[in-house]
Structure 1
Amino acid sequence: MTTHFISAEINLQESPLKLQQAIATELEKQGEPLRWAITEVDSDKQTAKIEAIVTTEVLETGLVSQ
């Protein structure tokens, strides 16, 4: 298992629950999220910057599996 620091940009949603779901969906594309935080909000572009630590499994062949 390896850990990675990632950042992503998410469009702001109309409700906190939908925002949390959008963040989870985006982070799961990169691996299993351990922790994440909203680190910046751009009110002009209506986006939020997310920084996270995710884990991925390393296969015996050395390839990374998500």
Structure 2
Amino acid sequence: MTTHFITAEVDLQETPTELQKAIEAELQKQGEPLRWAITSVDEAQQKAAVEAVVTLDAVSAE
């Protein structure tokens, strides 16, 4: 298993619950999120910047 630090940009949502789901869905594309934080919000662009640590399973060579 390896860990990676990633950044992502997510559209702001109507509710905090919807925003959390959107962030987690975006992070799942990169691996299994261990932790994440919204580091900035651009109200004009309606975007949230997210920094996260995700894990990836190591592929075993056969």
- TM-score (normalised: structure 1): 0.90
Alignment pair present for 1:51 and 2:56? no
Q: The residue matched to 1:26 in structure 2 has which SS?
A: helix
In 2, the alpha carbon distance for the partners of 1:16 and 1:41 equals 13
Deviation, structure 1 residue 60:
1.3
Q: Which amino acid aligns with 1:36?
A: W
Q: Which runs of 5+ in 2 are unaligned?
A: none
Identity %: 61
Q: Which amino acid aligns with 1:48?
A: A
Q: Which runs of 5+ in 1 are unaligned?
A: 62-66
Name the Cα RMSD after superposition. Answer: 0.5
1:24-61 superposed Cα distances (whole Å, 9 cap, x missing partner): 10001100000000001001100000000000011113
